[in-house]
């Protein structure tokens, strides 16, 4: 943040702060669930879904939006590079709604 150009290794400082904040939020959520005794069923599936989709969204956006020079010139100037990121978010929302509204209730594991 003390860099006069606002960049650290070529990336804006706000990017590092955003990734750090999301990591802290995820860690706080994990701690809350561990203290509460865990989650099961649809709630567990939904949590796994959004965490996996968040990682996939970050990876896809880093490639398609952050590195457009690896694609042909025609694709760089088109909206085509936004499609993978938008598709990931749309699929995540679809499945989260389907899990929340639907009758998806996996059985709780039994330990002996």
Query: 91 CB contacts (<8 Å, ≥6 apart)?
Result: 53
Given a cut of 90, whether residue 90 has pLDDT beyond it is yes
Asked if residue 105 has pLDDT above 70, the reply is: no
Quick one: which of 81, 77, 54 has its CA closest to 65? 81
Determine the Cα–Cα distance for residues 37 and 21; give it in Å rounded to an integer.
25
Higher pLDDT, 100 or 95: 95
Residues 6 or more apart from 96 whose CB is under 8 A from it?
Answer: 46, 49, 50
| Mean pLDDT, range 68-72, rounded to an integer | 87
pLDDT at residue 8 tops 80: no
Higher pLDDT, 88 or 9: 88
pLDDT at 107: 63
Give the pLDDT confidence of 12-41 residue by residue, as tens digits: 777 788 888 988 988 898 898 888 888 877
pLDDT the model gives residue 14: 77
């Amino acid at each position: 943040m003390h860099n006069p150009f606002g960049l650290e290794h070529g990336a804006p400082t706000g990017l590092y702060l955003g990734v750090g904040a999301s990591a802290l939020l995820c860690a706080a959520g994990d701690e809350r669930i561990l203290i509460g005794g865990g989650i099961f069923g649809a709630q567990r599936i939904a949590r796994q879904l959004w965490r996996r989709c968040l990682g996939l969204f970050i990876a896809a956006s880093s490639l398609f939006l952050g590195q457009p020079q690896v694609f042909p010139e025609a694709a760089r100037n088109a909206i085509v590079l936004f499609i993978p990121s938008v598709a990931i978010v749309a699929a995540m929302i679809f499945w989260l709604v389907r899990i929340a509204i639907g009758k998806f209730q996996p059985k709780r594991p039994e330990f002996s």
